[in-house]
Amino acid sequence: MDSTPTTAWRLVSHHGFAEVKQQITNGQNALFTLRGWQPGEVIADFSAGSISSEPTYLTVQVGEDKHITLQPEFLQYINHSCEPNVFFDTTRMQLVALKEISTGSELAFFYPSSEWEMTQSFQCYCGKAGCLGEIRGAAFLSNEAVTRYRFTDFIQSCLAKKADKKVA
Ligand SMILES: [Zn+2]
Q: Which residue has the higher pLDDT, 84 or 56?
A: 84
100-135 tens-digit pLDDT: 999 999 999 999 999 999 988 999 998 899 999 999
pLDDT at 20: 98
pLDDT at 120: 87
69-100 tens-digit pLDDT: 999 999 999 999 999 999 999 999 999 999 99
pTM given for the model: 0.92
Average confidence (pLDDT) over 53-74: 95
Q: Which residue has the higher pLDDT, 56 or 131?
A: 131
Residue 51 Cα to ligand 1 middle (Å) = 28
Average confidence (pLDDT) over 138-160: 96
115-118 long-range contacts, Cβ below 8 Å, gap at least 24? 115/55, 115/60, 115/61, 115/155, 116/61, 116/154, 116/155, 116/158, 118/55
Cβ density class 89-101: b for 16+ within 10 Å, e for less:
bbeebebbbbeeb
Residue 141 Cα to ligand 1 middle (Å) = 13
With bands split at pLDDT 50, 70 and 90, how would you rate the model's confidence at 10?
A: very high
| CA distance between the termini of the chain | 54
Q: Ligand 1 (ion): which residues have CB within 5 A?
A: 82, 124, 126, 131
Q: In whole angstroms, what is the distance from residue 66 CA to residue 43 CA?
A: 24
Domains present along the chain, CATH in parentheses: 9-167 (2.170.270.10)
State whether residue 50 is helix, strand or coil.
strand
